[in-house]
């Protein structure tokens, strides 16, 4: 009987571990990419790294997309920022939730940003695989905000992504586009972003 109890106890332990791996894969299975995450900014250029480092943490947003015909689409999403690559870069995961309950994300992408002392600015790469998007930017502080300037890989249009009204708990984000080499600009997207408490 004691062997049977020991066997049952061992099987229960295996089941608990199996369920934990399924429910919380990153905490037990170690699925994070080794050496990607960092605990904080690198000492070198630590002051400059604060420009995007101030966003490290979890956020939620209300998105307004303005289509070419002027119609507007509203959506909600989440935005997660963290230190990576020995604290030399800030990476995020940006998710726009589907408008259909239970549907897949409307966009699920990531941005990697790092400070380049040679140009005293940030180099930025955005990748949105759901819709096949890819853009590169140069980002600089402008007043109390950030302006990212780049070109679309799809049609060559110029883009500006602007962080403004930045506080520790909220900020406003806009994407403006020019198809005439910067003569005129049109607002295509904007987000009203709020920090989410971690509960720690």
What are the DSSP E strand ranges found in the chain? 57-66, 72-84, 89-96, 107-116, 121-128, 133-142, 145-152, 158-167, 170-178, 186-195
The tens digit of pLDDT for each residue in 67-97 reads 888 889 899 999 999 999 999 999 999 999 8
Query: How far apart are the two ends of the chain, measured CA to CA in Å?
Result: 45
* Owner of token pair 């309950």: 101
Q: Tell me the pLDDT of the chain averaged across its residues.
A: 82
Q: Which of 109, 115, 95, 110 is nearest to 52 (CA)?
A: 115
Closest by CA to 172, choosing from 67, 71, 55, is: 55
**Interatomic CA distance for residues 93 and 59, integer angstroms:** 10
Predicted structure pTM score: 0.78
Tokens of 181: 């080499």
Q: What is the pLDDT of residues 139-193, one digit of tens each?
A: 999 998 999 999 876 677 899 999 999 999 999 999 999 988 888 999 999 999 9
Say which CATH architecture domain 46-195 belongs to.
Beta Barrel (2.40)
């Amino acid at each position: 009987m004691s062997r049977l109890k020991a066997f049952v106890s061992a099987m229960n332990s295996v089941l608990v571990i199996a369920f934990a791996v399924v429910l919380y894969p990153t905490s037990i299975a170690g699925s994070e990419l080794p050496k990607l995450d960092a605990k904080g900014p690198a000492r070198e250029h630590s002051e400059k790294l604060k420009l995007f480092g101030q966003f490290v943490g979890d956020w939620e947003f209300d998105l307004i997309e303005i289509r070419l015909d002027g119609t507007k689409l509203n959506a909600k999403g989440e935005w997660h920022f963290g230190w990576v690559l020995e604290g030399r870069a800030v990476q995020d995961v940006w998710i726009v939730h589907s408008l259909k309950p239970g549907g897949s994300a409307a966009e699920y992408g990531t941005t990697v940003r790092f400070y380049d002392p040679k140009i005293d600015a940030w180099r930025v790469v955005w990748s949105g695989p759901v819709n096949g998007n890819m853009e590169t930017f140069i980002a600089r502080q402008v007043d109390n905000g950030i302006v990212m300037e780049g070109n679309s890989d799809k049609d060559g249009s110029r883009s500006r992504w602007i962080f403004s009204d930045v506080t520790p708990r909220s900020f406003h984000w806009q994407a403006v586009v020019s198809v005439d080499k910067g003569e005129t600009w049109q607002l295509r997207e904007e987000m009203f972003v709020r920090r989410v408490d971690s509960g720690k």
